Amino acid sequence: MPGPDRRAARAPGAADLVADYQRWLAADGRGSACYVNAAWAFLGHWPDPGAFAAEPLARQLALVASQRPFVTFLMLTGRLRPGYDYLAHRKIGGLLVQARRGVFAGDIARFATAATDLDYGGHIVKRTTERVVLRLLIQTRRPLDKVVVADVDELAGAFRRRAEAKGNRSSWVNDRSLVYAAHRVLFHLGVLDTPPEDPRRRPGLVGHYSGVDEPLRTLFLDYCDQAAATRAPATVKAIASHLAGFGRFLASLDPPVTDLAVLDRRTHIEAWLAALGTAKHDDGTAMSLGHQRGQILTVRQFFTDILQWGWPAAPTRTLIFPRDIPQLPQPLPRYLPPDADRRLTDTLEDLSARGPTPLTRLHADALLLTRATGLRIGELRELELDCVHEIDGHGAWLKVPLGKLATERMVPLDTETVDILDRIADRRTPGRPLPHPRTGRPVEFLLVHQGRRISAQALRAELARACHTADIPTATPHALRHTFATALVNAGVSLQALMQLLGHVSATMSLRYGRLFDATVRAEYERALTQAKAQLGPAPLAGMAAPPAGPVLPLTAITGDADWKDSPTIKSRLAGGFCLRAPAQ
């Protein structure tokens, strides 16, 4: 027996440990001498298996292949916590299968059942259980109910370090999605108190100000902190984005401008306004006129506010004037023509009945609900599970939550729309209430799948696919709202009722739809066209002589034998010559 093996043989409990390992191997039909010898060699270096966790990661990963099954045995029997970095770097074959006959079997079965109830596919359930949950159980050596958010974050950090060390960002993206799914399932199991943050969302506003020099960066952040007290989070993010664009322009000047007090209208502001006209987004697309207008208005309001608040950095004179703000075009609402509307509705109803996945069918029902009620996409996503109210003698009504204009409203429902809502309620996945994005109170949202709210981007993508299937131009969810309103206007709905149904706070907003098919304009047009046709008379038939014309007066009867050019008449040049008429005419 080699030296390390002899030392291992003298270690207390080593023989019993190796015997347990042999029985473990036998359960899988393994048990060759090389595995047993490798176990003795491991114990020769680390008589206390727990000491292996203190080794540098490089030393841990340098274990020979025959020793790795022994490490797996130690982990799954609760004898070794190797560290999250080792667990993240090492891909362990058959780990989940072996864990199902160990101390973690009950916890991983409970997690897998909960993930399946949330409508996760079998592959995702298996990968999430093996890659995340089992590693958490191994390292914490605590029951699943005792896992905390810090444990999940620590494992996620190890996955990120592994991807950075290997220069493989895609591996981090995959692991991040698995960590996110595991966090969500653990939240709905009641293990974790909070749902996971969207991994694609940048936390806070600091990330918006890359490329902005100090002290403007801090000044903009302070302003956004003030704005957050009275404005919606989406509005604050828009303010941050617009101010960051202005800050990056100032940083690009030579020399860079970091003091607002030195801003000059001619040198800086007019150059910025000119640059906005040709500016592009990061993806190379041209900046829309609406985005340019938003940035100008935001910077102008920023200057006004900090001057009124007495901030020392405020400019002392007006730099942006009303004429600098571009006027937006006033297009008509982009509704779907009747034929396209029918084809899209038929496609969505087919997807609702025979869609390839439960999520596709849920998306189709959500889009049908938008078409039937005229909801904004934000209002649709924030509908609550108890949003339908049955009133005796007044039918069913939909309670639309606070939306874009911070108003609630009730929308009447017909039988077909109630059926759509019933299908959505049946198809949503159950789970714990989620925090409301504005108030933080727990809410059972209607549109929930896999423990999270359905995203606006997912609905837009589903609608684009449905438009392609229906062979019509790609539409947006807001076009369904326009189509709903247009159909009501064509049916003669009153302006007051239209305002209530759409949640408008001013008649001007609803009058846009009145300009689409104005009955008064149509009546005036038909009256004038009828009169014009009557004055022209019927066209002569082929071969029929033209009606006799009136007597033709000689020119001398008007000019009195004088040259017409010298006659006292008003002369107008026309395409075929001149027209003469008396002043009295």
- Look at residues 488, 514, 540 and tell me which one is the last residue of a structural domain: 514
184, 281: one domain: no
Least confident of 172-181, 298-307, 550-559: 550-559
357, 255: one domain: no
Report the CATH number that the domain containing residue 459 is assigned in CATH. 1.10.443.10
52 - beta bridge partners?
none
**Residue 454's pLDDT is what?**
92
State the SS3 of 272-304: HHHHHHCCECCCCCECCHHHHHHHHHHHHHHHH
Q: What is the mean pLDDT of residues 271-293?
A: 86
**Residue 548's pLDDT is what?**
59
Does residue 272 register a pLDDT over 60?
yes
- Asked if residue 516 lies in contact with residue 489, where contact means CB atoms within 8 angstroms, the answer is yes
Q: What is the mean pLDDT of residues 361-378?
A: 94
Q: Which domain holds residue 442?
A: 338-514
14, 153: one domain: yes
Q: What is the mean pLDDT of residues 150-161?
A: 95
Least confident of 28-37, 185-194, 272-281: 28-37
Backbone angles phi, psi at 579, to 5 degrees: -115, 130
For residue 427, how far is the Cα from the chain centroid?
Answer: 22
For residue 178, how far is the Cα from the chain centroid?
Answer: 20
pLDDT single digits (tens) 163-209: 999 888 888 999 999 999 999 999 999 999 999 887 666 556 666 77
297 in a structural domain: yes
Backbone angles phi, psi at 144, to 5 degrees: -60, -35
State the SS3 of 135-186: HHHHHHCCCHHHCCHHHHHHHHHHHHHHHHHHCCHHHHHHHHHHHHHHHHHH
Does residue 243 register a pLDDT over 60?
yes
Band of the pLDDT at 301, cuts 50, 70, 90?
A: very high
Q: What is the mean pLDDT of residues 258-272?
A: 90
74, 8: one domain: yes
Does residue 555 register a pLDDT over 60?
no
Query: Which position has the higher pLDDT, 502 or 535?
Result: 502
Share of the chain above pLDDT 90, in %: 44
Does residue 299 register a pLDDT over 70?
yes
Query: Which position has the higher pLDDT, 38 or 203?
Result: 38
Query: Which position has the higher pLDDT, 448 or 576?
Result: 448
Does residue 443 register a pLDDT over 80?
yes
Report helix angle 33-45 to 14-27, nearest 10. Answer: 140
409 in a structural domain: yes
**Residue 175's pLDDT is what?**
93
Does residue 318 register a pLDDT over 80?
yes
Query: Which position has the higher pLDDT, 325 or 548?
Result: 325
Q: What is the mean pLDDT of residues 46-68?
A: 90
**Residue 3's pLDDT is what?**
46
380 in a structural domain: yes
532 in a structural domain: no
361, 319: one domain: no
138, 247: one domain: no
- The H-or-E segment that residue 572 falls in is strand 570-574
45 in a structural domain: yes
Band of the pLDDT at 439, cuts 50, 70, 90?
A: confident
Model's pTM, two decimal places?
A: 0.75
Number of domains in the chain: 3
166, 218: one domain: no
- Look at residues 324, 355, 379 and tell me which one is the last residue of a structural domain: 324
Does residue 34 register a pLDDT over 90?
no
296 in a structural domain: yes
93, 235: one domain: no
- Asked if residue 39 lies in contact with residue 29, where contact means CB atoms within 8 angstroms, the answer is no
d(CA 575, CA 162): 83
51, 127: one domain: yes
347, 451: one domain: yes
Where do we find the tokens 């299937």? 469
- Look at residues 514, 543, 561 and tell me which one is the last residue of a structural domain: 514
pLDDT single digits (tens) 112-121: 999 999 999 9
Does residue 2 register a pLDDT over 60?
no
**Residue 543's pLDDT is what?**
62
d(CA 159, CA 171): 8
Beta strands in 424-476 (DSSP E): 434-435, 442-443, 448-449, 452-453
Query: Which position has the higher pLDDT, 428 or 287?
Result: 428
Band of the pLDDT at 234, cuts 50, 70, 90?
A: confident
**Residue 1's pLDDT is what?**
47
pLDDT single digits (tens) 22-32: 988 888 777 77
53, 152: one domain: yes
- Asked if residue 80 lies in contact with residue 54, where contact means CB atoms within 8 angstroms, the answer is no
413 in a structural domain: yes
State the SS3 of 8-26: HHHCCCHHHHHHHHHHHHH
Q: What is the mean pLDDT of residues 558-562?
A: 63
581 - beta bridge partners?
570
439 in a structural domain: yes
**Which range, 35-39, 456-460, 508-512, is most confident?**
456-460
